[in-house]
């Protein structure tokens, strides 16, 4: 019984934390021009934006896959540092030796995604607190948040995230 409760708690916490960080990063990426107007000279901002846009669907696809299988989701920022390099990784599709998705994920994280994603998550959270204040979790503000996500994040970006996550799911299913 205790083991079942521990697994259920691990499942819920991992999905809530990674889901919140993914949604906040998506909000931050979608609204990057609100505080930092983009210009041609902002190469670092564009670089981190592209890395975050690439890593978000991978994390979302992995999270949906883990939710379907009722297991805790691997948090990509820490996943590759939690396991010994000499042993096989628990998720075959995230193993950079066996899977192209795993290789792409490791490369994206190593070239800066490991920093860019949390930065955009913090930025998205900061934007939400700046817009809604500390009353963020009231029912009215949750409705406003959903509306702001609909307005602030373009439909094209949401479609990209959904299709790329679906592609990750299909590739994982095929590899299985």
Position 74 confidence tier, pLDDT thresholds 50, 70, 90: confident
Longest pairwise C-alpha distance within the chain: 58
pTM of the model: 0.76
Span 85-135, pLDDT tens digits: 677 788 777 888 888 888 888 888 888 888 888 988 998 888 888 877 777
Check: CB of residue 147 under 8 Å from CB of residue 24. Answer: no
Of the two residues 56 and 38, the one the predictor is more confident about is 56
Question: What's phi and psi for 61, nearest 5 deg?
Answer: -65, -45
Which pLDDT tens digit goes with each residue over 11-28?
888 888 988 888 888 888
């Amino acid at each position: 019984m205790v083991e079942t409760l521990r697994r259920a708690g691990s499942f819920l916490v991992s999905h809530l934390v990674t889901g919140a960080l993914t949604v906040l990063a998506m909000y931050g990426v979608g609204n990057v021009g609100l505080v930092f107007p983009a210009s041609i000279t902002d190469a670092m901002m564009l670089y981190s934006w592209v890395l975050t846009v690439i890593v978000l669907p991978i994390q979302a696809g992995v999270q949906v896959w883990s939710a379907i299988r009722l297991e805790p989701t691997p948090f990509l920022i820490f996943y590759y540092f939690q396991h010994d390099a000499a042993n096989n990784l628990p998720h075959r599709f995230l193993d950079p030796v066996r899977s192209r998705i795993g290789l792409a994920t490791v490369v994206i994280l190593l070239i800066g995604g490991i920093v860019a994603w949390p930065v955009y998550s913090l930025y998205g959270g900061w934007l939400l607190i700046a817009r809604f204040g500390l009353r963020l979790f009231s029912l009215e503000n949750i409705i406003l948040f959903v509306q702001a996500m609909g307005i602030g994040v373009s439909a094209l970006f949401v479609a990209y995230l959904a299709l790329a996550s679906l592609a990750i799911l299909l590739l994982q299913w095929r590899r299985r």
